[in-house]
C-alpha cells in the first residue's frame, strides 16, 4: 500500500514538471513571435520615415484577445531655408517717402531730373526740388572751385593724416605721405571719387578748409543754387545737401570747363605711388560704354544719400543733363539712366509735348 502511494506520488511530480516545461516552451515561443513582430514593425516605420511619409507601426492586426506592443523609431529631419530679401534703404529720401511717388518710367531713384541743356526744357521731373544728401556729387563743386582758383596744377601736394576719413572710415590707396600734383589729385577726385585727394585739395586752398568750404557755398549762391549747402569737400558728410534742380545747374556750369569734362570722363589713370604704379578707375561704368556719349559725369554714395549720378550726355540728337538721386540698389542708377535714354530715344520729339512731371514729396532741408 505504501509502495503504491509512493509510485503514484512520483508520477504526479513528473507530470507537474513536464507541464511546467511545456508551459515554459509555449511562453518562450510567444515571446519570440512578439519580438519578430516588433522587429518588423520597427523596420517598416524606419523605412517610411526615411522616405518622409507617415505609415502605421504595423500592417498586421494583433490576434483577437491579445495586445501587441509595437515600437516606432522616428527620425526628425530639420531643414533651414534662407530667403534673401532686399534690405530697405536707410536713406533720407527713402524715409521721406520719395520712393512712393508715382513714376511713369518706374525709376528706382527717389528724385530725378532730365532737361535739355540748350533750351532748358524739362523733359522729366520727379521730386526735383527735394533737398537731399548728395554724397560725392559734392566733388563736382570742389573741382569747379579749384579750377576757378587757378592754383598751379603742377604744384605738389602731400596727403596727411588730416585727410583720413573719420566720418565713414572709408579706405584709400593714398597713404599719408603720398605726394602728387594738384592736377593728379583733381583728376582722381573727379574720376575715381578719391576722398583723400578731394580733402587735400580743399586743405591746400588759400585759407585752408574753412575758406574752401565758404568758397563752395559762395559759388552755389552765385549760380542760384538756393537749396544747396556744403560743410566739407568730399561728400562724406550727410550735411552736404542739394536738390536735383540745383545739381542740374552745377552740371551745366562744370561742363563749361574743358578740364573737368576731360577728368570726369577718363576711364582709368595710372599713378605712381612710391615705387609702385597703381591704376585707378572711374566709378561710372557708363563712361566705358561705347554706346554712351558722356560729356561730364559724377557719381556718389553714402547710406544717407543712396546711389547718385549726374551727367551731361548726348542722345537722340540732344544735349541733355541728367540727375538721379537716392537710387535704391547698387546698379539701379545705371539702370535708371538706361531707362531714361530709351525713353528719350523713343520720344526724341518730346520738346513738342508736355513733360511727365511727377509730384514732389517733402524731404528734409
Active site (catalytic) residues = 136, 139, 193
- Joined grid coordinates for residue 342: 530709351
How far apart are the C-alpha atoms of 236 and 275, rounded to whole Å? 30
- Joined grid coordinates for residue 146: 579749384
What's the longest Cα–Cα distance across the chain? 149
How far apart are the C-alpha atoms of 94 and 132, rounded to whole Å? 10
How far apart are the C-alpha atoms of 205 and 151, rounded to whole Å? 8
| Phi, psi (deg, nearest 5) at residue 196 | -65, -35
- Joined grid coordinates for residue 142: 570742389
HEC assignment per residue over the chain = CHHHHHHHHHHHHHHHHHHHHHHHHHHHHHHHHHHHHHHHHHHHHHHHHHCCCCCCCCCCCCCCCCCCCCCCCCCCCCCCCCCCCCCCCCCHHHHCCHHHCCCCCCCCEEEEEEEECCCCCEEEEECCCCCEECHHHHHHHHHHHHHHHCCCCCCEEECCHHHCCCCCCCCCCCCCCCEEEHHHHHHHHHHCCCHHHHHHHHHCCCCHHHHHHHHHHHHHHHCCCCCCECCCCCCCCCCCEECHHHHHHHHHHHCCCHHHHHHHCCCEEEEEECCEEEEEECCCHHHHCCCCEEEEEEEEEECCCEEEEEEEEEECCEEEEEEEEEECCCCHHHHHHHHHHHHHHHCCCHHHCCCCECCCCCCCC
Amino acid at each position: 500500500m505504501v509502495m503504491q502511494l509512493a509510485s503514484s506520488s512520483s508520477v504526479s511530480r513528473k507530470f507537474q514538471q513536464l507541464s511546467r516545461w511545456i508551459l515554459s516552451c509555449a511562453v518562450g515561443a510567444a515571446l519570440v513571435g512578439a519580438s519578430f513582430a516588433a522587429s518588423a514593425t520597427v523596420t517598416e516605420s524606419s523605412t517610411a520615415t526615411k522616405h518622409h511619409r507617415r505609415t502605421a507601426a504595423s500592417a498586421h492586426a494583433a490576434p483577437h484577445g491579445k495586445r501587441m506592443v509595437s515600437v516606432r523609431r522616428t527620425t526628425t529631419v530639420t531643414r533651414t531655408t534662407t530667403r534673401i530679401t532686399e534690405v530697405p534703404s536707410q536713406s533720407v529720401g527713402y524715409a521721406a517717402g520719395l520712393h512712393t511717388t508715382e513714376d511713369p518710367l518706374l525709376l528706382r531713384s527717389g528724385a530725378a531730373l532730365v532737361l535739355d541743356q540748350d533750351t532748358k526744357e524739362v523733359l522729366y521731373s520727379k521730386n526735383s526740388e527735394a533737398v537731399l544728401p548728395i554724397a560725392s556729387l559734392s566733388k563736382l563743386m570742389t573741382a569747379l572751385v579749384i579750377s576757378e582758383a587757378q592754383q598751379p596744377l603742377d604744384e605738389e601736394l602731400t596727403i596727411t593724416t588730416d585727410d583720413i576719413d573719420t566720418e565713414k572710415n572709408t579706405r584709400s590707396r593714398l597713404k599719408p605721405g603720398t605726394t602728387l600734383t594738384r592736377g593728379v589729385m583733381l583728376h582722381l577726385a573727379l574720376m575715381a571719387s578719391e576722398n583723400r585727394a578731394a580733402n587735400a585739395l580743399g586743405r591746400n586752398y588759400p585759407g585752408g578748409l574753412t575758406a574752401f568750404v565758404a568758397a563752395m557755398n559762395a559759388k552755389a549762391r552765385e549760380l542760384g543754387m538756393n537749396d544747396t549747402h556744403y560743410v566739407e569737400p568730399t561728400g562724406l558728410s550727410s550735411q552736404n545737401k542739394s536738390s536735383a534742380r540745383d545739381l542740374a545747374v552745377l552740371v551745366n556750369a562744370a561742363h563749361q570747363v574743358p578740364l573737368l569734362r576731360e577728368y570726369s570722363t577718363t576711364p582709368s589713370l595710372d599713378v605712381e605711388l612710391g615705387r609702385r604704379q597703381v591704376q585707378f578707375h572711374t566709378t561710372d561704368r557708363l563712361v566705358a560704354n561705347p554706346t554712351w556719349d558722356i560729356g561730364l559725369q559724377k557719381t556718389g554714395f553714402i547710406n544717407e544719400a543712396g546711389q547718385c549720378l549726374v551727367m551731361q550726355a548726348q542722345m537722340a540728337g540732344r544735349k541733355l543733363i541728367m540727375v538721379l538721386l537716392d537710387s535704391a540698389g547698387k546698379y539701379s542708377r545705371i539702370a535708371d539712366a538706361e531707362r531714361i535714354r530709351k525713353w528719350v530715344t523713343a520720344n526724341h520729339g518730346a520738346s513738342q509735348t508736355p513733360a511727365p512731371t511727377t509730384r514732389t514729396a517733402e524731404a528734409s532741408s
